[in-house]
Structure 1
């Protein structure tokens, strides 16, 4: 009788929801995504993204293990337009190829690690009955986003593997990067919902308010422009600030049509990205002022993130896109997304 009671009690304990444990796990995965954003930035800025010309989800976890394997990978890279038109004429040897190969391989390896860091704990929490009611679909959606991120990454690489291509498509680069930011925001939002559930023991998740949606659209456009600027190397269009080519508005080529100019012209995109930033700042300030009476820490996080981001953006331009400044700019962009998600969640909790 006693043994049966103990077994029953153990089963009840095992099946109890653990929202705080899940929240901590999601914050840990979000941290890994931030690391991924940094490594992705380094991969892009060192022109490493096209060094691996195939997608091998399982065997690709290991780097080449012999000189013959390295030479085979190098020979595949030599068939790309990037090598024929850029790297090859610059005199790339096997040692230089190993350097760029490392960053692309590490980027992909980290993606595998993040996938396992999400999928395995998710399965464990699921089997233990630790996931609160209503959260399983959301967690599965986040898992699916991670899988899409890997697929988008390959489509991005494949877009640059043509014999005449020297870079990946900036459209695919923006999809790849913005999916990472969206996933990061989803991780933070869900973790905050779970933490709130742990504190209150009941209640409905926060909702997205009208103000948060408006700011999200403005911020999305700024991040999209930033991704296109990165993909087209448009950061090199000017190394002065606030003027470009000694003018407020640079000379822009409209001969290919408005649509092409809006989506491809490096001078136009650089110009829009640097000045739309102030629209984003204004929107974030308005949002942060609404957040401050409810959670001062979230307001400070938003102000700090966009302030540092603006300074890093200016410094990146004026240094001719120095690698570590550009990487820091991308990292703080991700932190800004996290701070925005935090502030939007605060407003959403209040609305509930």
Structure 2
């Protein structure tokens, strides 16, 4: 039976090699671009955490996506911003009598957070349009990257939706909206890691087992859930509900976990319950990454996949220790920011580890490749 494969044409080999080299150059450029965006998002999340911890998030009471990039430039501008802040409950009930100097301190945190958010949008959008217009984006990545661009726009709207919750009837933002805002930022971060990891050459080591690969996915999802729970903790100041470890108020399961009615409200509005659930999530993640490490090493001793699980377990262990430090120290700002930042590191590595089981994106044929 004759072969269905076309005969090899040696004359086309140089063209194929040149095309692959151009693809590699394009991928390298896109990896640098995406890595830069990741660093910017990491900084944005940290500044957002500082904004929350310093109670600065309501200092800017208007949403001006374009004009808002310019901070107050005169004394009159500052007085106008302060007067707007004086109209909201946070000033009237908590910060009444705040001086202009004190107001500037909280204003700059919120302004920096919004400025960074705009910067991330520009940093993603302009190179993406350039890569797309010059044919450098592989077909399989066009819609995923465009989807990330849309999610970035949605994130800006969610940020204002969050701030708006604290301008009328509350003295702070809704913990539901804060956790949603944080989680969406982390979801965008994780998706960029996934795409970028696919552009990097992978190890040829075989996957230890389907179960190990699925376990990596479960861990990544659980890390994201933990970040959402951490957002609830931050939104409720629930880190102060109990400052002891391993017990909470003298017991592993403290009293008062279900004192609100209906019962489900406790998991989102009861400070003690929210911290307790976040602790349980941490214990679960620690145990799962430990099991994952043992399973990967047992089925793929000496493989790259097994070594990654060891590193992942180490990162999760450090995060657990940081969480304990934050609790025992009654949420010091510095350690709380380290804890939040390390959570992003854990998320990024867990997603990269999960993506590592699938190999790099194969070279596409027939793609128009930019020079």
Instruction: Check whether TM > 0.5.
Output: yes
* Higher Rg: 2
CA displacement at 1:296 relative to structure 2: 5.3
What pairs with 1:143-158 in structure 2 (closer than 5 Å)? 143-158=149-164
Which residue of 1 is the match for residue 175 of structure 2?
Answer: 170
Number of aligned positions between the proteins: 331
Q: Which runs of 5+ in 2 are unaligned?
A: 1-17, 205-211, 298-302, 363-371
Matching residue within 164, 177, 186 for 1:181: 186
Which residue of 1 is the match for residue 53 of structure 2?
Answer: 45
Q: Note if 1:223 corresponds to 2:227.
A: yes
Matching residue within 321, 341, 346 for 2:351: 341
CA displacement at 1:133 relative to structure 2: 2.3
CA displacement at 1:346 relative to structure 2: 1.6
User: How many Å separate the matches in 2 of 1:271 and 1:254?
Assistant: 14
Which residue of 1 is the match for residue 264 of structure 2?
Answer: 259
- Work out whether residues 15 and 128 of structure 1, in 8 Å CA contact, stay in contact via their aligned partners in 2: no
- Work out whether residues 33 and 184 of structure 1, in 8 Å CA contact, stay in contact via their aligned partners in 2: yes
Label 1:277 to 1:192 Cα distance change in 2 as closer, same or farther (>3 A). same
Matching residue within 237, 243, 246 for 1:242: 246
TM-score normalised by L of structure 2: 0.83
1:106-149, Cα deviation, whole Å (9 max, x unpaired):
00000111111111111111122111221111110111111111
User: How many Å separate the matches in 2 of 1:297 and 1:21?
Assistant: 28
User: How many Å separate the matches in 2 of 1:137 and 1:222?
Assistant: 28
Q: Note if 1:138 corresponds to 2:138.
A: no
Label 1:290 to 1:179 Cα distance change in 2 as closer, same or farther (>3 A). farther
1:260-318, Cα deviation, whole Å (9 max, x unpaired):
11221000111111122110112222334455623456334412321221111111111
Label 1:144 to 1:255 Cα distance change in 2 as closer, same or farther (>3 A). closer
- Work out whether residues 223 and 346 of structure 2, in 8 Å CA contact, stay in contact via their aligned partners in 1: no
Which residue of 1 is the match for residue 317 of structure 2?
Answer: 307
Q: What is the aligned-residue RMSD (CA, Å)?
A: 2.5
Q: Note if 1:66 corresponds to 2:74.
A: yes
Label 1:53 to 1:291 Cα distance change in 2 as closer, same or farther (>3 A). farther
Which residue of 2 is the match for residue 86 of structure 1?
Answer: 94
Which residue of 2 is the match for residue 3 of structure 1?
Answer: none
Label 1:289 to 1:181 Cα distance change in 2 as closer, same or farther (>3 A). farther
User: How many Å separate the matches in 2 of 1:250 and 1:171?
Assistant: 24
Label 1:14 to 1:344 Cα distance change in 2 as closer, same or farther (>3 A). closer
Label 1:21 to 1:174 Cα distance change in 2 as closer, same or farther (>3 A). same
User: How many Å separate the matches in 2 of 1:24 and 1:300?
Assistant: 27
Q: Note if 1:196 corresponds to 2:201.
A: yes
Label 1:336 to 1:284 Cα distance change in 2 as closer, same or farther (>3 A). same
Which residue of 1 is the match for residue 112 of structure 2?
Answer: 106
User: How many Å separate the matches in 1 of 2:42 and 2:310?
Assistant: 20
Label 1:29 to 1:301 Cα distance change in 2 as closer, same or farther (>3 A). farther
- Work out whether residues 24 and 191 of structure 1, in 8 Å CA contact, stay in contact via their aligned partners in 2: no
User: How many Å separate the matches in 2 of 1:259 and 1:155?
Assistant: 23
Q: Which runs of 5+ in 1 are unaligned?
A: 1-9, 201-207
